[in-house]
Amino acid sequence: MELDPETARKTPSYNIFPIFVDLIVDNIPNNFRERYGFNPVDEPLLRELFESESKRSIVEFLGKLVWLPSPNVLLATKIKSYPSRDKDHKRIKDMCDITSLLLFSRGWVKTSVSNLVGEDVFGKFRNTINEGDLVESSRILDLDINLVKNAIKRLIE
C-alpha cells in the first residue's frame, strides 16, 4: 500500500519500508519507450513464464495478481546474468540470490535449469564463480561458507 504524505509523516519510520519492483519483460515492444517513458529490462528466459503454467506462480500482492517465475526460471536468469556483471555488488547479489534459491526453494531441478540457459551459458557461469564471491555471499547471508560452496557445487557438478 502506498502511503499518502500525511500518513507517512505520522507513521514511525521503523514501520515504513520501501519495496522496489523491477519490471522485467521477455521482450520490449517497439513503441514501449514512447508510450511509457522508460525501457524495462528484457530477459528472453521469462518467455517460459508466459508460455507454461508450470513455470510460474500467481500470488496476490497489494491487491493485484502478480506472476512470479518458478525457482528454475529465476535461477536460470541469475545464472545467465552472473558472469556478465561488471559491478561487484550486482555479481555478489546474484550469487546471494542463487545460493538462496538453491538452499531455500523447493522445486529447482538442475537439468531443467541447464536446459533453460544452455551449456554455453552454464559453462560461463561455472568458469566465472570465484572464492571471493562465495565468501562475501556467505557473509551477507550469514551462512557457513561450506554450506554455500556445497550448494553451488551441487548445481555445477
Quote the domain boundaries for residue 70: 5-156
Question: Which residues make beta-bridge pairs with 66?
Answer: 59
Domains identified in the chain, total number? 1
44: pLDDT strictly greater than 90: no
CB atoms within 10 A of CB 145: 13
Q: What is the band of 83 on the pLDDT scale with cuts at 50, 70, 90?
A: very high
pLDDT in tens, 46-57: 888 888 888 888
| Alpha-carbon span 114 to 130, nearest angstrom | 20
99: pLDDT strictly greater than 90: yes
- Predicted local confidence at residue 39, as pLDDT: 84
pTM of the model: 0.78
- Predicted local confidence at residue 91, as pLDDT: 93
